[in-house]
Structure 1
Amino acid sequence: MLNAVYSGAEAALAEELRAAHDEGAPVEIVGGGTRRALGQPVQAARALSTSALSGISLYEPGALTLVVGAGTPLADVEAALEAEGQRLPFEPMDHRGLLGSAGEPTIGGVAAINNSGPRRVQAGACRDAMLGVRFVDGRGEVIRNGGRVMKNVTGYDLVKLMAGSWGVLGVLTEIAFKVLPAPEAAATIVIEGLDDAAGVAALSAALGSPWDVNGAAHGAGRTLIRVEGFEKQIAHRAPALVDALKAHGTGEIVTGAASDALWRGVRDVEAFQGREGAVWRLSVKPSDAPPLVASLRAKGDFEAVYDWGGGLVWLFTPEAGDAGAGAIRAETRARGGHATLVRAGASTRAAVDVFEPAPAAIGALEARLRAAFDPKSILNPGRMRG
């Protein structure tokens, strides 16, 4: 993996995209294939794979810097970091269980959707760890932006623009990341029996405490709060946090593999895996999250898992078709949030906008960006409708 050379694969990809641009032939960009069910169905008969763009071209543990090909399996990246006692800061989700998909997630796919898990409340999102990118735009031109250190970003910040662009502006070929040391120890405070409002209140209190919380989730009457760090620190911080939260309930401290399993469950939304129904991802102010879910439950059969202190709500409904979509969007929008349809049947995905429809001014700006990077709309056409 180290010192991998994939410039030939990048050149071949650029040549294929130049030909597709000249022909006006749409293409679907595919990494490991684990997230193809996310977003609207792509309107293209041909797929281009990034699998040849694989390998770590630079890893400097002392500088906390990693440069990696976009087609590199996420598991390979994590294994290389683990060998040096380091990790990606943003705890990316594995969508396979929720979507029922196969394949291997790639680091390019992680960046393309800005995939960020429970540690986002402290460490920031995937985009915040990205230092530089190389990508091929819709004309087949190779573009490089950013660098390999935090202060080496001048001019337009295309790094942040590419994070979460879902492959409609360009095909990522290489990404530079800031990485962090892995902690010696972790502990999770578990409070049982709180309703949603009380659970989110406990999360807010924990995040507002001085104990450096980096995980705050609630679901099915169980409230989870995580702290990580040096062994001696955790031995002090975890009991202190239990004491600080005693007004919200009695907390139990869970460590080791049991703690890790709890957060994999939150990260990958295990509560909604293997069940028929639609899954939505709502972004809203934490204090508005419980009232929003309560209002929706009054209209239908909904279950909720809260992450990021309540700022992220995973919503499940067993209803078929697009029933409830209008209510979900209206209730979320009324509270200044937005709703994304993550999982549903093909007919629902075809009928319901997966992404929150953008206001006119933002929609116009997005259209101008797409026209600048992909003038013939050949990259993942249809994926981000709405």
Structure 2
Amino acid sequence: MRPDSDAQLAEAIRDASGGLAVQGGGTRGMQVAGEVLSTRGLCGISLYDPGALTMVAGAGTPLTEIEAALEAEGQMLAFEPYDLSVVTGASGASTIGGVFASNASGPRRVQVGAARDFLLGVRFVDGAGRIVKNGGRVMKNVTGYDLVKLMAGAYGTLGVLSEVSLKTLPQPEATATLEIKGLDATRAVAAMSAAMGTPYDVSAAAHLDAQGGRTFVRVEGFEDSVAYRAKALRAALHDYGAVVACDGDIWAGLRDLSVMEDAQTLWRVALRPSDAPKFLTQIRQLPDGANASAHMDWSGGRIWIGAPMASAAGLHSALQTLAAQMRGHVTLIHSAAPMDLPRFQPESVGVARLSAALRRKFDPRGILNAGLMG
């Protein structure tokens, strides 16, 4: 099914006799059973006001179309959404609805916030076929239920997005990336944390475990300011090794995980940065973890783990168990073959009860991406 209006979308959901697999471009890796309900017909930019830094677009609008319109005006999606099509092998184009449904936030999150922080308003159809609108086209205090934030990261389990209103920001005038080679996970987290603790307004800090260890720190802004802050960061990080300028745009590969394109299974781990080295050490000591690859973002607060399919089943439960012990959580983002395992970290009893109550309210028949989040 591919509706091209809210009315058609509502009718499709009301008339559904079984589960619906909500899908935009299919690049997020979260495939579920059921009849495919595509949002790609709900596309197009209906409003863009560069002066007000706002845009309104259909949920099925390709991310490339959004970014091209912003590029023409010297603006950007500041939260730097990732596109995992290289890893997942998806043939479709990532959509703006999929970005917000999965709260897809990239390296710049440490500076500007997550995708949900740039979502101003939504229009969606819930599991009962009701058209719901919440939020607006400007930043303001929330005076009622903040369904905008609720829908961001719900992966289509509470409603199918049909339109989003979002905030944009100007592109930085200049960018500088510094690199330190040869650091292990412990030293890398220490270096990234030190950089984030400086007054030099770091916009990204990441560590690639492969190639002997490569640690990256980025600063952005006006050209003179970037030059000054990059020089100051070199001095501040001198104790961690030789700090050199990184030529080329490494961040696209780190953001979209093309640096891990051989991973047959992919997990996203959220932890305190200080726990990241211990987590990686324990995973590597497992029989199924010996061949795992890792990439740390957000100074170690987010870890991407890749592994061969043969190691996936044994590694999955170990990842979630270890994360739970460290008060973190693990999400199975992609697997090359179907896996009958909980994609999201099991919730505590209280949180699970609240989550189930929300799903019953918004999707009383349990047909939207059934089983994905509980």
Matched, 1:228 2:216: no
Tell me how far apart the structure 2 counterparts of residues 207 and 374 of structure 1 sit (CA, whole Å).
Answer: 41
Q: TM-score, normalised by structure 2?
A: 0.94
Tell me how far apart the structure 1 counterparts of residues 277 and 351 of structure 2 sit (CA, whole Å).
Answer: 28
Matched, 1:339 2:294: no
Query: Which amino acid in structure 1 is aligned with residue 262 of structure 2?
Result: G
Measured after TM superposition, the shift of residue 153 of structure 1 is 3.0
1:121-140 matches, cutoff 5 A: 121-140=110-129
Report the counterpart of residue 47 of structure 1 in structure 2.
36
Measured after TM superposition, the shift of residue 321 of structure 1 is 4.5
Q: Which runs of 5+ in 1 are unaligned?
A: 1-6
Measured after TM superposition, the shift of residue 108 of structure 1 is 0.3
SS in 1 for 2:277: helix
- Whether the aligned pair in 2 keeps the contact of 1:131 and 1:150 (CA below 8 Å) is yes
Distance change in 2, residues 1:25/1:343 (3 Å): closer
* Superposition CA RMSD, Å: 1.5
Measured after TM superposition, the shift of residue 12 of structure 1 is 1.2
Report the counterpart of residue 14 of structure 1 in structure 2.
10
SS in 2 for 1:214: strand
Query: Which amino acid in structure 2 is aligned with residue 278 of structure 1?
Result: T
- Whether the aligned pair in 1 keeps the contact of 2:4 and 2:41 (CA below 8 Å) is no
Tell me how far apart the structure 2 counterparts of residues 379 and 150 of structure 1 sit (CA, whole Å).
Answer: 29
Per-residue CA distance 1:25-45 (angstroms, 9 max, x = gap): 32111212223x32xx4231x
Pairing partner for 1:239 from 204, 222, 231: 231
Measured after TM superposition, the shift of residue 10 of structure 1 is 1.3
Distance change in 2, residues 1:336/1:8 (3 Å): closer
Measured after TM superposition, the shift of residue 326 of structure 1 is 2.4
Tell me how far apart the structure 2 counterparts of residues 345 and 184 of structure 1 sit (CA, whole Å).
Answer: 40
- Whether the aligned pair in 2 keeps the contact of 1:199 and 1:218 (CA below 8 Å) is yes
Per-residue CA distance 1:234-290 (angstroms, 9 max, x = gap): 1111111111111112211235xx0x2x10121112232134x42221110001100
Matched, 1:322 2:318: no
Per-residue CA distance 1:107-154 (angstroms, 9 max, x = gap): 001011000110111111100110110001111111111111111532
Query: Which amino acid in structure 2 is aligned with residue 235 of structure 1?
Result: A
Distance change in 2, residues 1:85/1:380 (3 Å): same
Pairing partner for 1:286 from 232, 254, 273: 273
Matched, 1:272 2:291: no
Query: Which amino acid in structure 1 is aligned with residue 303 of structure 2?
Result: V
Tell me how far apart the structure 2 counterparts of residues 193 and 185 of structure 1 sit (CA, whole Å).
Answer: 27
Query: Which amino acid in structure 2 is aligned with residue 204 of structure 1?
Result: S
Pairing partner for 1:252 from 244, 252, 257: 244
Tell me how far apart the structure 1 counterparts of residues 307 and 64 of structure 2 sit (CA, whole Å).
Answer: 31
Report the counterpart of residue 378 of structure 1 in structure 2.
367
Tell me how far apart the structure 1 counterparts of residues 4 and 82 of structure 2 sit (CA, whole Å).
Answer: 30
Per-residue CA distance 1:38-77 (angstroms, 9 max, x = gap): 2xx4231x22211121111111111111111101000000
Report the counterpart of residue 99 of structure 1 in structure 2.
88
Measured after TM superposition, the shift of residue 230 of structure 1 is 0.9
Q: Which runs of 5+ in 2 are unaligned?
A: none
- Whether the aligned pair in 2 keeps the contact of 1:200 and 1:309 (CA below 8 Å) is yes
Tell me how far apart the structure 1 counterparts of residues 280 and 311 of structure 2 sit (CA, whole Å).
Answer: 19
Tell me how far apart the structure 1 counterparts of residues 353 and 20 of structure 2 sit (CA, whole Å).
Answer: 23
1:7-156 matches, cutoff 5 A: 9-20=5-16, 24-35=17-28, 37-38=29-30, 41-44=31-34, 46-151=35-140, 153-156=142-145
Once the two structures are aligned, what percentage of the paired residues are identical?
Answer: 50
1:193-208 matches, cutoff 5 A: 193-208=182-197
Tell me how far apart the structure 1 counterparts of residues 166 and 312 of structure 2 sit (CA, whole Å).
Answer: 40
- Whether the aligned pair in 1 keeps the contact of 2:24 and 2:95 (CA below 8 Å) is yes
Query: Which amino acid in structure 1 is aligned with residue 317 of structure 2?
Result: G
Between 266-275 and 188-197, the greater mean CA deviation after superposition: 266-275
Distance change in 2, residues 1:364/1:201 (3 Å): same
Report the counterpart of residue 202 of structure 2 in structure 1.
213
Distance change in 2, residues 1:263/1:286 (3 Å): same
SS in 2 for 1:324: helix
- Whether the aligned pair in 2 keeps the contact of 1:332 and 1:338 (CA below 8 Å) is yes
Distance change in 2, residues 1:176/1:145 (3 Å): same
Tell me how far apart the structure 1 counterparts of residues 295 and 336 of structure 2 sit (CA, whole Å).
Answer: 21
Matched, 1:353 2:345: no
Matched, 1:192 2:185: no
Tell me how far apart the structure 1 counterparts of residues 239 and 303 of structure 2 sit (CA, whole Å).
Answer: 24
Per-residue CA distance 1:205-258 (angstroms, 9 max, x = gap): 000100100110012311100001111111111111111111112211235xx0
